[in-house]
């Protein structure tokens, strides 16, 4: 299972200034690093990383996924810079928002064909809805995230097949840190998952570090929406 995007669409009492700096009151929960407008339909959000560009769009209207109706679809189109890795598309499907958490039902991931690689698509259905509570955590709090389900892989080159998976992660909200995005600095939430560390800003993961897999360490160089810094 690809778990690159555990992004939250939440309607919370969080002003734009509080979601990333400028508030005179020191925030005490990760809700301060969330911005509901990130997950609302509108202009695409363009996130330029060191090795790829991700173009995020929340689709207008609702959809049905695995028999569950009235779900929101968030799409990320990913383009790599190395001219060797094929572009890919990710879609996540989640339900209505009632607070600082979101209920996910599954996701879809497609890899484009490139050179000797054949196009592949994966559809993942969760065994039970996955409730993402990351942005409800208080400073110093830990939470166990558990997710299981079944993924179906399809490609013109293979017979379709399915496999099951289970993921259990303990995340801790370490607090707030200043993080650079290009030539500007923002206040981000720092989360640890074992040896891995992620930083989130306006509901988006903008930097991550894994000492066991340093080749995957990455940071955001630019984050824009409608041509403006976001």
Mean pLDDT of the chain: 86
Three-class SS string for 158-184? Answer: EEEEEEEEEEEEEEEEEEEEEEEECCE
pLDDT band at 115 (very low <50, low <70, confident <90, very high): low
Can you tell me whether residue 5 is helix, strand or coil?
coil
Cβ–Cβ < 8 Å for 78, 54: yes
| Residue 86, pLDDT above cutoff 60 | yes
Q: Quote the pTM value.
A: 0.82
List, for residues 5-51, the tens digit of each pLDDT value. 333 222 222 322 333 444 456 678 999 998 888 878 899 999 999 99
Cβ–Cβ < 8 Å for 101, 131: yes
pLDDT for the residue numbered 15: 28
Residue extents of the structural domains in the chain: 30-229
| Residue 89, pLDDT above cutoff 70 | yes
List, for residues 136-183, the tens digit of each pLDDT value. 999 999 999 899 999 999 998 889 999 999 999 999 999 999 999 999
pLDDT for the residue numbered 114: 57
pLDDT for the residue numbered 19: 38
């Amino acid at each position: 299972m690809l778990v690159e995007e555990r992004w939250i669409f939440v309607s919370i009492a969080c002003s734009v200034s509080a979601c990333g700096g400028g508030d005179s009151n020191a925030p005490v929960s990760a809700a301060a690093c969330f911005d509901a407008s990130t997950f609302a339909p509108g202009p695409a959000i363009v996130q330029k990383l060191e090795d790829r560009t991700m173009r995020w769009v929340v689709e207008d209207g609702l959809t049905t996924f695995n028999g569950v109706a009235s779900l929101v679809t968030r799409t990320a189109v990913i383009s790599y810079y190395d001219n060797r890795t094929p572009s890919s598309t990710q879609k996540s499907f989640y339900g209505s928002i009632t607070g600082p958490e979101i209920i996910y039902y599954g996701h879809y991931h497609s890899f484009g064909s490139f050179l000797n690689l054949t196009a592949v698509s994966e559809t993942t259905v969760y065994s039970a809805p996955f409730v993402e509570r990351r942005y409800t955590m208080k400073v110093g709090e830990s939470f166990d995230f558990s997710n299981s389900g079944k993924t179906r892989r399809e490609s013109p080159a293979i017979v379709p097949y399915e496999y099951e998976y289970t993921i259990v992660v303990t995340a801790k909200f370490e607090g707030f840190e200043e993080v650079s995005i290009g030539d500007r600095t923002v206040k981000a939430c720092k989360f640890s998952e074992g040896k891995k560390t992620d930083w989130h800003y306006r509901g988006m993961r903008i930097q991550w570090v894994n000492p066991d897999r340093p080749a995957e360490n990455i940071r955001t160089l630019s984050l824009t929406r409608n041509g403006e810094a976001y």
